[in-house]
Structure 1
């Protein structure tokens, strides 16, 4: 009976460690509000702005065909223009993700005039699976913006829905 107490403590501490590891992707942030997000595609740089200065910058990966504005589903491009962060996905296949409001009305109209779909589901997200590091293999997404899993945890905590995002060539 005495031997079961250390064993029980060991098992309980293991469960606690496991559960804290599961929750660790959800960080808290109490710093200045992120007022705008900027993406510079050619520089592969994501910038989180506060009211007074830059709060964070991150190197990024883009769509597999990053040059130019996204026009159609499957073109591998990352959109350009002004959008907003419009949703969050805590159960993303890509660790965590925050959604971008692409396509807008102009994107839909252009694609429709060409008889095509503009695509959608553009996110800032973490890595997809083991073996792909978005920093070493930069442009691997279908049009999304990728950062490391640790970085998307910060972005997810800092950026609120409704925050504008400007995406530059």
Structure 2
């Protein structure tokens, strides 16, 4: 009986040790800015002028040009801020981008449309999502493993610049 209890205890400890949390901690230099280069499909985490990390990205299903209205499939371009976090995202983890700003709302209104919203940097595809490159509805996607790093490193209030 004693051996059985020890085996159960070892199994429980091994199982708990094998579980990995999607939440990481980061104690390195502060990320002061996120840079997105749509044409190169790259995301850079910066500390001042110093590059910290780079990631390959996927974009909205119509990647060329600035997002004009809800449903156009484009990823916004311009200056924004990381303004929220979603630990329960349908896309693993996500951090929100402050799109639309006042200019985005005015431009969409001039077209008689809604600018849309809910633009995030988020984890990878879910089952059933398109298998083609640039598959999101306007968000920026990285792998789930990369999203764990980004979620830990980037704080709300961080500037994000999205270039064509």
Structure 1 SS opposite 2:161: strand
Any unmatched runs of 5+ in structure 1?
Answer: none
Q: What is the TM-score normalised by the length of structure 1?
A: 0.89
Deviations 1:63-82 (A, max 9, x none): 00000000111100000000
Q: Does 1:154 align with 2:156?
A: no
How do 1:13-28 residues align onto structure 2 when only pairs under 5 Å count? 13=13, 15-17=15-17, 20-21=19-20, 24-28=21-25
- The runs of at least 4 aligned residues of structure 1 exceeding 6 Å deviation read none
Q: Are 2:136 and 1:141 aligned?
A: yes
Give the counterpart of 1:66 among 63, 68, 78.
Answer: 63
Cα deviation 1:11-54 (Å, max 9, x = unaligned): 52255246x32xx2111100001111110000001011112410
Give the CA RMSD over aligned residues.
1.9
Alignment partner of 2:78 out of 77, 81, 93? 81
Q: Secondary structure at the match of 1:111?
A: helix
- Separation in 2, partners of 1:48, 1:11: 40
Tell me: CA distance 1:107–1:52, structure 2 relative to 1, closer, same or farther (3 Å).
Answer: closer
Once the two structures are superposed, residues 85-107 of structure 1 have per-residue CA deviations (whole angstroms, 9 ceiling, x without a partner) of 00010000111000000000111
Residue correspondences, number: 164
CA distance in 2, matches of 1:59, 1:2: 52
Q: Distance in 1 between matches of 2:39 and 2:3?
A: 62
Q: In structure 2, how many angstroms separate the alpha carbons of the residues matched to 1:106 and 1:87?
A: 20
Alpha-carbon distance, 1:109 to partner: 1.1
In structure 2, the partner of 1:8 is 8
Q: In structure 1, how many angstroms separate the alpha carbons of the residues matched to 2:78 and 2:49?
A: 23
Shift of 1:2: 3.0
